[in-house]
Chains A and B, each alone.
Chain A
Amino acid sequence: MAAPRAGPFFFMLTFILRRLLATIPVLLIVAVLVFLMLRLAPGDPAAILAGDAASTEQIARIRAGLGLDRPIVVQFGIWAGNLLAGDLGESFYYKMKVATLIGQRLEPTLALASLTILIAIVVAVPLGVVAAWRFGGWFDRALMGFSVLGFSVPVFVLAYMLIYVVSLQLGLLPVQGYQRIADGFWPFLRHLILPSITLSVIYIALIARVTRASVLEALGEDYIRTARAKGLPEIRVLVRHALANAAVPIVTVIGIGIALLIGGVVVTESVYAIPGLGRLTVDAVLARDFPTIQGLILFFSFVYVLLNLLIDLSYVFLDPRIRY
């Protein structure tokens, strides 16, 4: 426990510090799992890493670099050391450093994911609030029905349905492809609208459900009755009193949903031919390009853990009662 006279700032600092420390074992275990992944594969890890077209000499060089003749703990040490130095290894398929490769493919994925999260939050939170407000009514039931549907329709089926209606029948948006933001903002956005809507559906279903549940719980509290009794407008009761108190679970589920989002990115980029990290993942798996697969898993998991850390830290601001 902290010293009795410690102020709120001290609590916040220790909380942030402890949360930061708690992510270290998680990232370490992710690294161990990704490292062990290749050892699970049948055959020589060096030969697998080098790919199908490698020469014997190349394989020997990789074997020496990985320290494959040394104990497995030493091998992990060498690998993790390189990792900490930012060296994710080299893709023999793409003939470049994996870190460089990821850097080159980052922009489309970042753009797609950001727009998706933005659409999801802007759409889902109001829907959830209204459903909770009109609990049990037709809007509520329709939203719950939609959310089960959103969880069930596969992202690529939805993608093709949207392409068929919006692009092929109505001709409103491009079928597929990607334009860099440097080539103009409007073409960039036009190419991203359909993929983002596709990807956001499952996310909207998830966030709307949780928003509804937590706002519903908040609406049953005494302070809501008080707020209504003193004659506040309903919108203010809903937003300033109910939604603000329901914020923690909503923000939490946005963080958890990022894992779903990453899975969806892999599929969506593939359908819409977007040259991002998701497409790279599929291409790497098809080419059995293991350095790239390892690098991508580490990268995605790191981003996921980091975003959830930031979300945990945001609780301190969202809910002043939380003191860890």
Chain B
Amino acid sequence: MILNNWSIRIGGGALAFLVLIALFAPWLGTVDPALFDPASRDLLPGKSGQITTLDGDKLRHTFLMGSDSLGRDIYSRVLYGTRVSLLVGILCALVALAAGIACGLASGYLRWLDGILMRFMDGVMAIPAILVAISLVAIWRGSLATVIVAIAIPEIPRVTRLVRSLVLSIREEPYVEAAVALGTPTWKILFGHILPNCVAPLVVQGTYVCAFSILVEAILSFLGVGLPPDIPTWGNVMAEGRAQFNDYPHNIFFPGVFLAVTVLAVNILGDGMRDTLDPKMAKRV
């Protein structure tokens, strides 16, 4: 049923391909992304050169996407960067969904908490997402865990609002009234009756959070305020290539294309799922 939708086929297919690249990065003709060789600095794509392994051996290596100003292989760094981007996207989506579901259920079902919690969320939403993320990373210093949490936090209010609005409409449904009348405990109503009916819109929202998180992580790394520069991420590769863009645009071009294609694939997949899983939402936008 789901696979009949062309957006899901294209987006999901491209994404599956990227997941394979991430999983099999070591066997796709790459070298350790941290390896460098001063003799192979700033090679153009396709040029052959040498690279020094950790043991000090010199290997012949073809730099499919060229090399950077330290003589590292951009092809290897971009392929390994796929791992970081996908991991950040998926984990950010999960963190934002988990926190948003908890807050949204609480806000939608416990009336006394609703006002306070939603005003708080309004406050968080008034601060532009990237500013929240970069200042949190500045405080905590960049590591994979802090970057993920920092990117997920500004996304929580949107998920909370979605869950809350779903809870408010679902709690009026006859089956919930029946469960209440039978004396079902509140937690069982929330997790057994209400949450399962929120799944479709949440999956759709999750893909958008994932796409946005991948973008924000790349932006943070690119600006030099994200993951440490030795970790191969697309943003870091581009940040490294910035200074020499005029002479060697490939440093920015290849990771940029991977980044754009990945975010596009996730967004297309999200649109497809919205159309099949959540027809009401599809009509709204």
Contact = CB atoms under 8 A, between A and B. Distances in A.
B168 to A, nearest CB: 20
Interface string A145-181: 0001101111111001101100010000001000000
Contacts of B222: 156, 267
Given A26-B119, A262-B131, A157 B139 contact: no
Interface in B230-285: 238, 245-246, 249, 252-253, 256, 259-260, 263-264, 267-268, 271, 284-285
Nearest to B138: A285
Interface in A98-156: 148-149, 151-156
B160 to A, nearest CB: 14
A288 B138 contact: yes
Interface stretch (B34-42, B43-51, B122-130): B122-130
A102 to B, nearest CB: 14
Q: Which of A163, A213, A263 has the most CB of B within 10 A?
A: A263
B222 to A, nearest CB: 6
B126 A267 contact: no
Interface in A257-295: 259-260, 262-263, 266-267, 270, 281-282, 285-286, 288, 290, 293
A27 B128 CA distance: 13
B241 to A, nearest CB: 9
Contacts of B219: 154-156, 263, 267
B223 interface: yes
Nearest to A156: B222
B124 A157 contact: no
Interface string A30-48: 1011100110110000000
B123 A168 contact: no
Interface stretch (A5-13, A74-82, A299-307): A299-307
A297 interface: yes
A281 B131 contact: yes
A296 interface: yes
A282 B225 contact: yes
Contacts of B124: 29, 33
Contacts of B123: 25-26, 28-30, 32-33
Interface in B81-138: 119-120, 122-131, 134-138
B236 to A, nearest CB: 13
Contact of A157 (B126, B127, B246, B252): B252
- B: interface residue count bin: 35 or more
Contacts of A259: 125, 128-129
Nearest to B271: A148
B139 A286 contact: no
A286 B128 contact: no
Contacts of A210: 285
A34 B139 CA distance: 12
Given A266-B131, A267-B223, A300-B128, A40 B268 contact: no
Contact of A163 (B131, B223, B245): B245
B85 to A, nearest CB: 11
Main secondary structure of the interface of A (DSSP, over half): helix
Q: Which of A152, A153, A267 has the most CB of B within 10 A?
A: A152
A293 B135 contact: yes
A191 interface: no
A286 B131 contact: no
B211 interface: yes
A266 B222 CA distance: 12
Contacts of B260: 152-154, 157
Contacts of B227: none
A27 B134 CA distance: 20
B128 A26 contact: no
A263 B245 contact: no
Interface in B58-80: none
B224 interface: yes
A177 B284 CA distance: 42
Nearest to A48: B139
Interface in B128-177: 128-131, 134-140
Contacts of B130: 262-263, 266-267
B249 A164 contact: yes
Nearest to A266: B130
A246 to B, nearest CB: 14
A160 B249 contact: yes
A101 B260 CA distance: 35
24 contacts: A25-B119, A26-B119, A26-B126, A29-B124, A30-B126, A30-B127, A33-B123, A148-B268, A153-B263, A161-B256, A164-B245, A209-B285, A259-B129, A262-B131, A266-B130, A267-B219, A270-B223, A282-B134, A285-B138, A286-B224, A288-B138, A297-B131, A301-B126, A304-B126
Interface of A: 25-30, 32-34, 37-38, 40-41, 148-149, 151-157, 160-161, 163-164, 168, 175, 209-210, 213, 259-260, 262-263, 266-267, 270, 281-282, 285-286, 288, 290, 293, 296-297, 300-301, 304-305
The 7 closest A-B pairs by CB, nearest first: A29-B123, A263-B130, A157-B256, A152-B264, A152-B263, A262-B128, A41-B139
